[in-house]
Amino acid sequence: MSVSWLQTITPWANPSPVSSGSFTPAAGDQIPVFALNGSGSGASITITGTGGYSSLASALNDSPTGKTLQPWANSSCSSGAQTITNTGTAGNAMYAWAFEYASAVSLSATHLVQANPGAGAGAILGTSVYAAAGAVLLAFCAALSTSAATLTSPSGTNRGSGTLATIIPYCVTEYTGAGANITPSFTCSVGASNRFYVAQILLTPPSVGGGSSANNLDGGLNGGFQ
């Protein structure tokens, strides 16, 4: 069994609290979310919606740009029309990007900020992570210090790109696992003089072809996130 993408939910932004447009997932599907609070380093982020959303990593604070960033997910969502809400202190500038996937039994994340990584193809790098066959690595990149940027990725499948609310340039790329390490990469022509956030969420399917799910997940996740 392989993890599969079902939909990209239209990104949303506005003063806190702000909710996505309505979308309809299937019961048990997974909803990874990339969230940003643009009103200060160390600001709060809380993602809520139908079912249980939880953070996948501690919030990352980027003091030079005054932004707080954090990946979240609903690992088994409810069916039916629903929305997702991104909440910080009242009036904070909140941004969020979400996606629907099926058939993942485990979600884990890592994220980082790169300063002035370079303008060459694929110069903005994420973290190398082992992705088992059938897994998906969903990688998100945002420009934190300029709104005048276009982000692309030299590989993978694009799951959305543009500039959210004319403020946050972004690009989302999906990589298919094949039993090897993957390092997400992005390109920006102003990459030599700006700051960039890269977050990635690994969605791992049940074990196939021998071995237990627990053994398969342990080997994959521990191999990628040491």
| Per-residue model confidence (pLDDT) at position 207 | 82
Q: pTM of this prediction?
A: 0.91
| Per-residue model confidence (pLDDT) at position 226 | 29
Render pLDDT for 28-77 as a digit per residue (tens, 0 to 9): 999 999 999 999 999 999 999 999 999 999 999 999 999 999 999 999 99
| Span of 64-68, 123-127, 171-175, 213-217 with lowest mean pLDDT | 213-217
Render pLDDT for 93-131 as a digit per residue (tens, 0 to 9): 999 999 999 999 999 999 999 999 999 999 999 999 999
Confirm if 134 and 220 have CB atoms less than 8 A apart.
Answer: no
- pLDDT greater than 90 at residue 221: no
- pLDDT greater than 70 at residue 149: yes
| Per-residue model confidence (pLDDT) at position 150 | 98
- pLDDT greater than 50 at residue 174: yes
- pLDDT greater than 90 at residue 219: no
pLDDT band at 195 (very low <50, low <70, confident <90, very high): very high
Report DSSP letters for 107-127, one per residue.
EEEEEEEEES--SSTT-EE--
Confirm if 186 and 198 have CB atoms less than 8 A apart.
Answer: yes
Domain layout of the chain by residue ranges? 4-224
- pLDDT greater than 50 at residue 158: yes
Cα distances from 48 to residues 12, 35, 83, 210, in angstroms, run: 14, 11, 9, 37
Long-range contacts of residues 160-168, Cβ cutoff 8 Å, at least 24 apart: 160/8, 160/11, 160/97, 162/11, 164/11, 164/13, 164/95, 164/97, 165/13, 165/14, 165/95, 167/13, 167/38, 167/93, 167/95, 168/13, 168/36, 168/38, 168/95, 168/142, 168/143, 168/144
- pLDDT greater than 80 at residue 147: yes
> Given the structure tokens 């239209």, which residue do they identify?
10
Render pLDDT for 196-209 as a digit per residue (tens, 0 to 9): 999 999 999 998 44
Q: What value does the mean pLDDT take over residues 13-33?
A: 98
- pLDDT greater than 60 at residue 224: no
